[in-house]
Amino acid sequence: MDGRGGGGNPSHEYEWPGAGADTFSLFVGLGITTAQGSGADGEASSASAPPVAHGDDVIKRRALEARAACQLLHNHKWIREFKFVEPRVKLNHMYKYIIEKAKTMKSEGVTPSVLDIGCCMGTDLRQMFVDGVTIPENSVGIDCIPEYFDIGHKMFAGTGPQYTPVLRNCNALDDAQVDSAVTTPSGTAPPYDIIYTGAFLHLLDYAGAEHVASTVRRLLKPGGIFFGRTLSSSQASDTGIMDTMASCGNVKLLIFTAASIESFLHRFGFTKVSTSASAPDAQWSFPIDTMLSFFCTLAL
């Protein structure tokens, strides 16, 4: 569900900002475009075309097509600002550690199982495949808006099955739906080694966040990793619902501070909690001025 919020004015468009380094690296890793400038679209770069510029053309066309399809469903700011194309899992302050942890597990003969709650188009799962964190057979993404799945598959078309995630329609607040959706294609049932929620918790009310935390605790192995990101504000002193005027209109968001999310996670049995604050990667208006990434493990 990655940062969704509010409606908006469909006529207000953001220009394509160019593929950032992480986005370009993902498309290269998936084999959609290459550092030499050819793309899986069957295009070949001209002798005068810079490789990165050509690769950006491939990504730009796919991103524009995906945005147009998404805007038939919603016109959220994460759509207008092309955030769906970026592998924002890499922004978590502990992601490099998670990559190394996965390498260690695989050296011991275990491929980590991963559940992505609020997976949207599966961009972050694809990044985890490229980085060797997990494989499609051992992972599942769930989201309550399944139309995004096909849009994502088209945007990332041309990749092999080793980079194609299994995405399932599921309301994360409905235990019965969750339980029917979270067995991996290889037949691995919970508990999981790793559970990820992108920019998701701030879209819920407090009871919804509690429900998701309880679900994660139920589906995660003792010692397993829970990590993600959530919007915050330096003006907040505790957890609460905050009104924000975004470019898409008034949006109500659940705001955690670094201290309150640590307390919240400890209350649900998570330990080794750490957070890191950075500027939001989308254009939110005051008072939203912080993106918190969080990491924790389930107590043994």
Report how far residue 111's alpha carbon sits from residue 102's, in angstroms, rounded to the nearest whole number.
7
For residues 92 and 229, the answer to whether their CB atoms sit within 8 Å is: yes
Residue 199 CA to residue 265 CA, distance in Å, equals: 16
The residues with which 294 forms a beta bridge, in sequence order, are: 228, 275
d(CA 30, CA 156): 8
Q: Please calculate the CA angle 17-23-27 and round it to the nearest 5 degrees.
A: 125
**Cβ contact 224:192 at 8 Å:** yes
What's the confidence (pLDDT) of residue 1?
43
Ranges in the chain, pLDDT < 70: 1-13, 34-55, 241-251, 281-286
Q: Are 136 and 164 in contact (CB under 8 A)?
A: yes
Query: For the segment 156-175, what is each residue's pLDDT rounded down to a tens digit?
Result: 998 989 999 999 999 999 99
pLDDT at 45: 37
Pairing of strands 114-117, 192-199: parallel
Residue 144: predicted pLDDT: 94
Q: What is the pLDDT of residue 238?
A: 75
